[in-house]
Amino acid sequence: MFARRNLVKALLALPALGFLKLVLGYLGSNPEGRVPEFEEFDLTKPQGGEEPLLGNQGLAWLVRDKKGSYALLNRCSHLGCPVRFVPLESSFSCPCHGSEYDLGGRVLKGPAVRPLKRLKLFKVSEARLKAGLTIEAGPEFRL
């Protein structure tokens, strides 16, 4: 009887251990436990043609064109899923519910109704740019 009660307690603790492992895993990958404020772009990374460059943490895209560079938050404006670049269509697509955006972040297809957020971009060095993840830039902003 006593052993059965202990077994039940141990089984009830398993989900809690899984949650604890998840939390410790997150803290281990983010030792300071803070939400990043900036995304960095390594301009020395190989990049195909006019393809946007995904930031080092996967949190923003860097788009470069003839007029300059700008950064777009890698979060769909519908419900926040990360978007993917679709090379054949030169657009961004959301895998969650199918929203599509052009390279400027404007909505091509819903359910999203708002564009991808354009972020303020800063030059760190010739090989590195940094985007402020909470610093929104105007729709025409370029560096």
Q: Which residues bind ligand FES (CB under 6 A)?
A: 76, 78-79, 81, 94, 96-99, 111-112
Q: Are 100 and 114 in contact (CB under 8 A)?
A: no
Closer by beta carbon to ligand FES, 60 or else 129: 60
What tokens were used for 105?
A: 């972040």
Q: Which strands sit side by side in the sheet containing 53-54, from one edge to the other? A: 38-42, 128-136, 118-125, 68-73, 60-65, 53-54
- Least spacing, CB of residue 96 vs ligand FES, in Å: 4
CA angle in degrees (0–180, nearest 5) for 92-56-31: 125
Spatial CA neighbour of 100 closest among 76, 132, 128, 130: 76
C-beta of 82 vs 104, nearer to ligand FES: 82
Select 97 or 114, whichever has its Cβ closest to ligand FES: 97
Q: Which is nearer to ligand FES, 81 or 143 (CB)?
A: 81
Nearest distance from C-beta of residue 56 to ligand FES, angstroms: 23
Residue 65 Cβ vs ligand FES, minimum distance, rounded to whole Å:
24
